[in-house]
Amino acid sequence: MDKINSTKDHTLSDGESLLDDYENHQAHKDHTHHDNKEIAQKNDEHSHNQAYGEMNHQHDPGQEISQTEKDHFHHHTSSNEEHAEHDHHAMMVADFRKRFFVSLIITVPILFLSPMIQMFMGVDWRFIGDSYLLFGLSTILFFYGGKPFLVGARDELKKKSPAMMTLIALSITVAYSYSTLTVFFIKGDDFFWELATLIVIMLLGHWIEMKSVMGASRALDELVKLMPEEAHQITDNEEIEDIPVKYLKAGDSVLVKPGEKIPIDGLVYDGRSAVNESMITGESAPVEKEKDDEIVGGSINGEGILKFNVSRIGEDTFLSQVLKLVREAQDSKSNTQRLADKAAKWLFYIAVIAGTLTFMAWMIISQDLNFAVTRAVTVIVISCPHALGLAVPLVTAVSTSIGAQKGLLIRDRAAFENARKLNAVVFDKTGTLTEGAFGITDIEAIGVSREELLLLAYSVESNSEHPIALGIVNEGKKLNMKLKEVKDYQNLPGKGLKANVDGRDIMVVSPGYLRSEKIAFDVDHYEQLAQMGKTVIFVLDGNTLLGYLALSDIVRETAREAIDILKSMAIETILLTGDNQRVADYVGKQLKIDTIIAEVLPQEKASRIDGLIKEGKIVAMTGDGVNDAPSLAKADLGIAIGAGTDVAIETADVILVRSNPLDVVTILKLSRATYQKMIQNLIWATGYNMIAIPLAAGVLYNQGILINPAVGAALMSLSTIIVAINAKLLKIG
């Protein structure tokens, strides 16, 4: 991806990054770059007719660029698979819901028919053939309601990683098998009631949890959609023909109109325009493109017309490389096992071991096969506490609800739960710590008041939608300034803007114009502003300098507080951006961020995250652009700004709906509170086992104490109620 190194060649190292876009695209190309001691003497014009604000930022229903139909089909297959995954998740939620209600209806007669429940209630509703009816209903319930757990157990065992599904499957299989034997072959008490209640509660728990975390990642699909479907191909006889992007070949000539997305990577051979690459490279300012400059597919053209030759197609394009990085990061990301699955894994082993030891012990002691089997089965069945099925799902549902109220959309529960361990948070700059929009930071007036200087600039800039103009206009509106009448508004090639304001010839120009006209200005102060990554424009009345305005990407008000709190929590803060070093240093020092890393490409961001993880750090990445997608996927916790690109949002584990950096702190606090509540619930749920398993095994049999169904049901109900109440008590400060 060396192609976007050219981006940095067009970012002036001394703070005039946006002044690259301050020139007329028709200006002569005889400008030169001086050394770093002379601050960027590039003659620039303010491109006031740029359709910046009118650009289509919606993702066209695009297709991945490829040289052949086969490549095109391949990428669309990936897209369709992502959609299928999302639809499959929705279908699973609906399936669990349906199975729960059907199973609940079947469970009611099973409970009334069960001799154990009748004994517990002190009634006798037995009739001839009732056991066969009980068996029939339980069989339907076992295969219909228990199917998801049986299938899930098979998958877990294939991976040699038994967890919740395996524990549930073990309990219901043993309960069903033993109960069936008591109906047809052996004498004993059945566990059909236990089978039914276990299936119903576990279905309820899974349905609650899946419903609360609905949503599958569609990052790859969103990457594909960034590209337009058609391109304006320039034929050999210089005619324009619209063709599908997939048919473009290396070397083909393409035209891009103002405000359009660039359809594919290429090399400019004619024209000049400022290109918005912020969502691709992280560069906050539009980058001037002219002959022999490389442009990236998916970025947005500014006010000029560009003609370029296609340089890369298929898997060699920039976005295809990003797509590959995202896919690799998602595949390599550690599959963290959730807390409930860890508990279920250990309970599975305990159930198998305790059941086996119980059977062996009673065979040796009593030599009564029926009694030994009954004790072993009882141990295994009650090893899967009903409360365990609700312990985590209820906390999940409550924490998801709290997160939504706090502006957090949790997409990956495992990553969110492990956020409590974070010790490093990496931030992108543009659009994350900053607003991604320019605002005035300094006003220096000479011979006029600051208010008059701003009003003059505001009046001249009011007809433009350029980022610089919007920054000045927003400041004027904020101060409720009344616009002056503007006449003879015009662009000055290679200079800036000129207009007649109240009979005065007011100009808004770049530093290059002052140098060319030998108009004196405070070079030292200008250099100080430029060194901080600020863009400076000058206001003239004829040839008289009235003052100058400095603008920069505005730091979000909540960013400072977020960084301060993270530091107080002993969490390292890191700024990782594709923007130039001086701009990054300016923002980083303002916020007192621990580490500042600038001018990094997308693959470098992902590798930096990987490096931090290899150092043993638990890393969160917060970003909003396409260039952040691979690192969001690679990080232990990917956090997307809600106002960011769909690609970043679909890649992230958590989305900050309010685009507030302070919500990163909320994520950590909610994750820690959620984990503590889950631990409490698991203690309540498994505490039942600590009492029930030894008693079911018969350790106090000689003392006349042996757990009976009534006691087991009472303990089960009590722990389930406690778990439900405790989950509702979850809160964060």
Annotated catalytic sites, by residue?
A: 428
Residue entry with tokens 């492990």? 418
Q: 164 and 337 in contact (C-beta within 8 Å)?
A: no
Burial class, 694, CB count within 10 angstroms (exposed 0-12 / middle 13-18 / buried 19+): middle
Q: Given CA atoms 381, 387, 392, 397 in this order, what sign does their dihedral have? A: positive
Estimate to the nearest angstrom the gap between the alpha carbon of 488 and the chain centroid.
48
Q: 40 and 14 in contact (C-beta within 8 Å)?
A: yes
- For 27, phi then psi, to 5°, come to -65, 155
Residue among 453, 408, 385, 416 nearest 692 (CA): 385
Rounded Cα distance, 513 and 501, in Å: 20
Rounded Cα distance, 203 and 122, in Å: 29
- For 123, phi then psi, to 5°, come to -125, 165
293 token code pair = 């400059």
Rounded Cα distance, 316 and 343, in Å: 46
- For 251, phi then psi, to 5°, come to 100, -15
Rounded Cα distance, 471 and 462, in Å: 10
Residue among 370, 344, 396 nearest 168 (CA): 344
Q: 712 and 193 in contact (C-beta within 8 Å)?
A: no
- For 414, phi then psi, to 5°, come to -60, -45
* Buried b / exposed e along 561-589 (16+ C-beta atoms within 10 A): ebbebbeeeebbbbbbbbbbbbbbbbbbe
Element (H, E) at 498: strand 496-501
Q: How far apart are the first and last CA of the chain?
A: 45
Three-class DSSP category at 630: helix
Rounded Cα distance, 387 and 393, in Å: 10
User: What's the 3-state SS for 160-184?
Assistant: CCCCHHHHHHHHHHHHHHHHHHHHH
| CA torsion angle 483 485 491 492 (round to 10) | -110
- For the beta carbon of residue 101, count every other beta carbon within 10 angstroms: 14
Element (H, E) at 93: helix 69-113
Rounded Cα distance, 156 and 96, in Å: 19
Residue entry with tokens 């007011």? 506
Rounded Cα distance, 417 and 339, in Å: 8
Strands (E), 502-571: 504-509, 535-541, 544-555
Rounded Cα distance, 658 and 646, in Å: 15
